[in-house]
């Protein structure tokens, strides 16, 4: 490992009771959006929810994570795969990057196979705007199945 990257994770409040298992497994295994850290040690410095629509905790959480050394904030995969997907993702990205000068990545663990199937059926991610948002978490079919 060449260096260390300090990471914060913000999850959708609908999943506030989530223990973070898929996100932490993906971080440990460098899968999904964490594949960008293949040659880097990753250290988690914060994990919290957005506090529900329209993201009342984004400002405070971002500030706290950056104070704790976060260089990158991941918006968890749950914001993308939930029903419906978070309508505020692009606003969260723009705000966190501008306000705190931190890199923001949409996604954590790979999109589970069952969610990909349902969103494909519903046509949720057909628009061009969704393509860069789901790309970091697509992974291959076998990996997606392992996250069901």
> What residue has token string 């705190």?
100
Q: What is the pLDDT of residues 79-91, one digit of tens each?
A: 999 999 999 999 9
Fold topology of 3-146: Rossmann fold (3.40.50)
Domain boundaries, the chain: 3-146
CB within 8 Å of 68: residues ≥ 6 apart: 6, 8, 45, 46
* pLDDT of amino acid 2: 58
Q: What is the pLDDT of residues 50-65, one digit of tens each?
A: 999 999 999 999 999 9
Give pTM, 2 decimals: 0.95
Crossing angle of the two packed helices 58-67 and 89-100, in degrees rounded to 10:
40
Q: What is the pLDDT of residues 1-52, one digit of tens each?
A: 558 999 999 999 999 999 999 999 999 999 999 999 999 999 999 999 999 9
CB within 8 Å of 114: residues ≥ 6 apart: 148
Closest CA to 81 of 112, 51, 57: 112
CB within 8 Å of 122: residues ≥ 6 apart: none
Q: What mean pLDDT value characterizes the chain?
A: 95
* pLDDT of amino acid 8: 98
């Amino acid at each position: 490992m060449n260096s260390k990257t300090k990471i914060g994770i913000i999850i959708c409040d609908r999943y506030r009771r989530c223990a973070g298992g898929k996100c932490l497994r993906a971080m440990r295994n460098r899968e999904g959006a964490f594949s960008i850290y293949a040659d880097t040690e990753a250290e988690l410095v914060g994990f919290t929810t957005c506090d529900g629509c329209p993201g009342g905790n984004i400002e405070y959480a971002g500030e706290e994570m950056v104070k704790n050394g976060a260089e990158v904030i991941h918006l968890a995969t749950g914001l993308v795969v939930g029903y419906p997907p978070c309508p505020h993702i692009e606003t969260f990205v723009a705000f966190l990057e501008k306000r705190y000068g931190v890199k923001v990545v949409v996604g954590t663990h790979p999109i589970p196979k069952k969610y990909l199937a349902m969103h494909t059926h519903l046509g949720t991610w057909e628009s061009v705007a969704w393509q860069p948002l789901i790309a970091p978490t697509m992974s291959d079919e076998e990996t997606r199945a392992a996250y069901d």
